[in-house]
Amino acid sequence: DAKTTQPTSMDCAEGRAANLPCNHSTISGNEYVYWYRQIHSQGPQYIIHGLKNNETNEMASLIITEDRKSSTLILPHATLRDTAVYYCIVKAGGTSYGKLTFGQGTILTVHP
Amino acid sequence: GAGVSQTPSNKVTEKGKYVELRCDPISGHTALYWYRQSLGQGPEFLIYFQGTGAADDSGLPNDRFFAVRPEGSVSTLKIQRTERGDSAVYLCASSLRMATEAFFGQGTRLTVV
């Protein structure tokens, strides 16, 4: 699986959009971009995934650049409960089947 | 239960002892995964099962670690001759084979003293 690079930490004001970047310049054609987050003392939680088109669900939006070498996870209206470590993962196939390779992620802190 | 259940939530053991960590996946999920997470690090893959068989055990660090899933549901991670370096949170996850997301449990915090 391709390697990902994320900033170590980011801050965001409550109610504002949080934009979390991820670089995956060595991504292959069959590899998807997945995002998980981990709130303190809990297991990771799936957020969203995509291949090349932008994706949106009830939690977030995922914007993937045309060359697929980077992506941005957008939390449109961040709340204090969105404070967590966010992991960008590149994985072959569009299902969860198989191992996930986590990096160190981005610590997002949402401030009042 | 509605989610992945792991027991115990905390386990303290002495160096050299044997421990077993249990995972109850979501009912009907055929795939089950074990990860280990050290402080300040992301989860590290250990093993995953498809049904009763280990489909990929490439993440097990050495032969002191072993996992089973005899009936294709509950899984047990077994660690022999524990070492202080085994101290970590052990996470279990499960999924349907063709699902887009894996569901994680809360983890078992193992401390070897």
Give the gap in angstroms from C-alpha A86 to the nearest C-alpha of chain B. 10
Predicted confidence at residue A77, as pLDDT, reads 96
Q: CB distance from B42 to chain A under 8 Å? A: yes
* Total residue count of chain A as it appears in this document: 112
Q: CB distance from A92 to chain B under 8 Å? A: no
Q: Look at B23 and A53; give whichever has higher pLDDT.
A: B23
Q: Which single residue is written with the structure tokens 């299902």? A: A95
Burial zone of A85 (CB within 10 Å; 0-12 exposed, 13-18 middle, 19+ buried): buried
The answer, yes or no, to whether residue B41 has pLDDT greater than 80, is: yes
Q: CB distance from A107 to chain B under 8 Å? A: no
Which backbone phi and psi does A70 adopt, to 5 degrees? Answer: -155, 165
Which backbone phi and psi does B86 adopt, to 5 degrees? Answer: -80, -10
pLDDT in tens, A12-38: 999 999 999 999 999 999 899 999 999
Two structure tokens written together for A18? 């949080």
Indicate the pLDDT class of residue A43, thresholds 50, 70 and 90: very high
pLDDT in tens, A90-111: 998 777 677 899 999 999 999 9
Mean pLDDT of A39-59: 94
What does the H/E/C string look like for chain B?
Answer: CCCCEEECCEEEECCCCCEEEEEECCCCCCEEEEEEECCCCCCEEEEEEECCEEEECCCCCCCCEEEECCCCCCEEEEECCCCHHHCEEEEEEEECCCCCCCEECCCEEEEEC
Q: Do A43 and B101 touch (CB under 8 A)?
A: no
Report the C-alpha gap between A17 and A14 in whole angstroms.
Answer: 8
Two structure tokens written together for A26? 């060595």
Predicted confidence at residue A33, as pLDDT, reads 94
pLDDT in tens, B46-55: 999 999 999 8
Percent composition of chain A: helix, strand, coil (DSSP 3-state, to 5): 5, 45, 50
Indicate the pLDDT class of residue B1, thresholds 50, 70 and 90: low
Predicted confidence at residue B105, as pLDDT, reads 97
Q: CB distance from B93 to chain A under 8 Å? A: yes
Strands B108-112 and B88-95: what pairing? antiparallel
Predicted confidence at residue B90, as pLDDT, reads 98
Q: Do A96 and B45 touch (CB under 8 A)?
A: no
pLDDT in tens, B68-109: 999 999 999 999 999 999 999 999 999 987 777 899 999 999
The answer, yes or no, to whether residue A1 has pLDDT greater than 70, is: no
Predicted confidence at residue A106, as pLDDT, reads 98
User: From the candidates A37, A40, A97, which should be mutated to test the interface with B, based on the most B CB atoms within 10 A?
Assistant: A97
Predicted confidence at residue A97, as pLDDT, reads 73
Which backbone phi and psi does B40 adopt, to 5 degrees? Answer: 80, 0
Predicted confidence at residue B21, as pLDDT, reads 98
Predicted confidence at residue B97, as pLDDT, reads 77
Strands B53-56 and B5-7: what pairing? unpaired
